[in-house]
Structure 1
């Protein structure tokens, strides 16, 4: 019974990272009113979370492997509890934003280490299926964060932070299975996670996520400008990407086990390019909604495939390699609005065709052609 609860907590941890990043998205007006600022300024709460979240994942997995996965994850949850409670009581904007930074930093130490725990606990031939479950819960966190944050804001936005503090506290109490701390000579070095092989996988994963799921804002712009949809209608249509991801991630995980992660990633890249180009060109709202649902399938093909590929080929430093790949994913998603919005204002169709072309031209040739394995000794070089 204890092992089942612990396993459930591992997968529940997958929910926390994306959820924490998106929880303030739908409460920006209320958040702004609470601190006497505009909703636009309140959007700093999203940036304050995502920047340290993405940046620290360049090193968080390796550091967590050195310290011990169980210790690092539980400490991260406890830091998340404290920062969420301070955010709940905060009446000074800089303090609130500092706590968002701390939340993002803490969650940078959960996702990659939990993926490594999953990879180390599954039977041979079933890694993809487990990663599919993990991916579906990440998609659920991303999709439900605006909804639950908005519901909390109907009463008081602060209750959202109280809720996540309680959830993180429960996860910390359940913990992880004990993992032995490696001997000094076996501690992985940072460069063992920054191999060219890993960076290539990370680049494809970042493109596959940033050029599809990261374009939610672009689809919303087109729905408003071309079809005159209101905020509620746009929000409802955009959720189909997350819902499709939730529903298909487990099936995609099984496909990864059957045909291999590389084929799934390439399928996701090609499908994503077709989806993005189509969303920018089709003349009907229902067609955009249908295509955007396939965008969720594409994103999960890339995400689950990339996670499986890097975990299979990372040697001793599984969490470190995975964290580098995850950093690419969230960095590309954060950069997408900055890079694509000027293109949209210049030419709406070009804003969709450019990322679609980038996926096709860069994704397939960048993906490693074989599942290179470095062996445990590569990760152990101190």
Structure 2
């Protein structure tokens, strides 16, 4: 569905995602450098601060989603913006390790409150203006999470540009800009984002079977739904795969004896591909249906890791070519573009209807937390394999093999998980079954 045909509430949420990402990427990518050069912190302290920020966000997504269900998505979104403002202000005031650590944790907690609530609210808000949202109409249009991926990626591209410009005045200038951005988002959302209706519309009209209500209530139902937990564990392989842009790909670049400046080119390639191809790729996924889209997406990611494995080189050998890594990133991003909106679009089909707060925030939060756990565990194993491979001169592609195997497992298992729960022949419905979305922070 064209962006202009979405309801004003949906466009407001997508705009908030864009500005939120600009504020994040204008500051956080430069945090490590600022702590080292401007404040003299050591590598161990910097690593702990950055790790605490990631853990506080990924680890608290489930809690953030539960709070969104308890408070309402609007209140959770606004609170997330305020917490991130406090986090940035703490970083601006920091002069020692303790305050940097506190500021980083608050920054992550703000994202953990904001993102699940926004995704939950989007899944309810995704109806074109002036329509009742019939199942036949909604089944033929593109998921709103496609636009979430695009707006998030635009913010991820523009943020570092803004941050680089502001760093000429020092890191505090970037932090001040970030505070201003989040303050503006908070004020605009306060006025533009309506309160949740007393009873959110059920998803029956889309033909999606709702799960049986849980005796533990909507906030804990996601943990008691074994099928959904398995779905999240398998879908988390997508976040693990995408995270290799930041972990394994830079290491592979170094192993090939290529200059670190090429890393920026690979990131730019990923962003350009997302901005240019997200819409046509999502259209292809819509035609495939959710089960086939998940299978094809994970097969593409497995293909990317296989390409990296067969072209990998031991460090210290003759400099390699950039072409294999560019191919790896291209295929990986194509799979990611197919998977992310599809995964997010399927989550509401697992949610039982429980009246005014149907538990979607907790479901989105659990999915994100499972992805974070997959990244933490997967990167730990991959790091060990990289060290062992170089130390014992194993086949240089060895570290990529588990990634290929895990993504192939997800490709085979997810359609089975969906079978009997969500029609495999019907396109993912963006409202009842409506994008790491594009680098949401």
TM-score bracket for the superposition, by shorter chain length? 0.7 to 0.9
Per-residue CA deviations over 1:24-75 (Å, capped at 9, x if unaligned) read 3345233212222134532333212110111111232122112111112112
Mean Cα deviation higher: 340-349 or 25-34: 25-34
1:314 aligns with 2:351: yes
- Between stretches 150-159 and 93-102, larger displacement belongs to 150-159
Say which of 136, 141, 160 aligns to 2:174. 160
Task: For 1:264 and 1:36, locate their aligned partners in 2 and report how far apart those are by CA, in whole Å.
Answer: 48
Q: C-alpha distance in 1, partners of 2:40/2:271?
A: 32
Write out per-residue CA displacement over residues 109-166 of structure 1, whole angstroms, 9 at most, x where no aligned residue: 1111111221112232367431101122333444555555444434312222222221
Q: 1:90 aligns with which of 88, 94, 117?
A: 94
Q: Which moved more, 1:345-354 or 1:213-222?
A: 213-222
Q: Is the 8 A contact 1:53 1:105 kept in 2?
A: yes
5+ residue gaps, structure 1, are 374-382
After superposition, where does 1:1-382 map in structure 2 within 5 Å?
6-15=9-18, 16=20, 20=24, 23-39=27-43, 41-123=45-127, 124-125=138-139, 128-143=142-157, 146=160, 148-175=162-189, 176-180=193-197, 188-194=217-223, 195-226=225-256, 228-282=257-311, 284-315=321-352, 316-347=358-389, 348-367=396-415, 368-370=417-419, 372=421
Q: Is the 8 A contact 2:27 2:163 kept in 1?
A: yes
1:22 positional shift: 8.8
Deviation at 1:103, TM superposition (A): 1.4
1:308-327 CA deviation, whole Å, 9 max, x = no partner?
Answer: 11123323222211111111
Residue by residue, what CA displacement relative to the aligned partner does 1:166-209 show, whole Å, maximum 9, x if unpaired? 121111112122114679x9995332122222212211221122
| Secondary structure at the counterpart of residue 143 of structure 2 | helix
Q: Which runs of 4+ in 1 moved over 6 A?
A: none
Cα distance in 1 for partners of 2:420, 2:102 equals: 41
The structure that is helix-richer by fraction is: 1
Query: Contact 1:17 / 1:107 at 8 angstroms: preserved in 2?
Result: no
Gaps of 5+ in 2: 128-137, 201-213, 312-319, 353-357, 390-395, 423-441
- Paired residues of 1:31 and 1:39 also in contact (CA < 8 A): no
Any idea what SS the aligned residue of 1:216 has?
coil
Deviation larger for 101-110 or 285-294: 285-294
CA contact (8 A) 2:296 2:411 kept: no
Structure 2 distance, partners of 1:311, 1:279, is 35
RMSD: 3.0
**Distance in 1 separating the partners of 2:321 and 2:56:** 39
Residues 1:182 and 1:71: Cα distance change in structure 2 (over 3 Å): farther
1:98–1:218 distance in 2 versus 1, CA, 3 Å: same
Q: Quote how far apart the aligned CAs of 1:269 are.
A: 0.4
The 1-side partners of 2:219 and 2:42 are apart by 41
CA distance in 1, matches of 2:217, 2:112: 18
Name the count of aligned residue pairs.
370
Given the two structures, how large is their TM-score scaled by the length of structure 1? Answer: 0.86
